[in-house]
Homo-oligomer: A and B are copies of this chain.
Amino acid sequence: MSDKHIITFLSDFGTQDGYAGSVKGVIKSIYPRSEIIDITHEIKPFDIRSAAFTLLNYYRQYPGGTVHLAVVDPGVGGERKPVIVRTAHYYFVGPDNGIFQYLLAREAYTLYAINAEKLPPSPESFTFHARDIFGPTAALLAGGTHPEDIGQRIDNTTQIISGIRHKSDSLYEVDCISVDRFGNIISAFSRIDMERLKGQSVKNIRVKNRTLPSLKKYYSQVKKGELLALWNSQDFLEVAVCQGSAVDKLDFDAQKDHLEIELEKAKA
User: Which positions in A face B, CB cutoff 8 Å?
Assistant: 1-2, 4, 6, 8, 10, 13-26, 28-29, 32-33, 36-45, 50, 54-63, 66, 124-126, 128, 131, 178, 180-181, 233
Contacts and interface: CB of A to CB of B under 8 A. Distances in A.
Given A37-B36, A42-B15, A22 B181 contact: no
B61 A126 contact: no
Identical copies in the complex: 3
A23 B128 CA distance: 30
A36 to B, nearest CB: 7
B181 A45 contact: yes
Given A36-B37, A125-B233, A17 B61 contact: no
Nearest to A124: B233
Contacts of A4: 32
A233 B126 contact: yes
Given A29-B62, A29-B63, 18 more contacts: A2-B32, A2-B33, A15-B41, A15-B42, A16-B40, A16-B44, A16-B50, A16-B54, A18-B54, A21-B38, A21-B58, A23-B61, A25-B37, A25-B63, A32-B63, A45-B181, A61-B131, A128-B233
A22 B61 contact: yes
A209 to B, nearest CB: 28
Contacts of A23: 61
A21 B42 contact: no
A22 B63 contact: no
A154 B15 CA distance: 32
A78 to B, nearest CB: 10
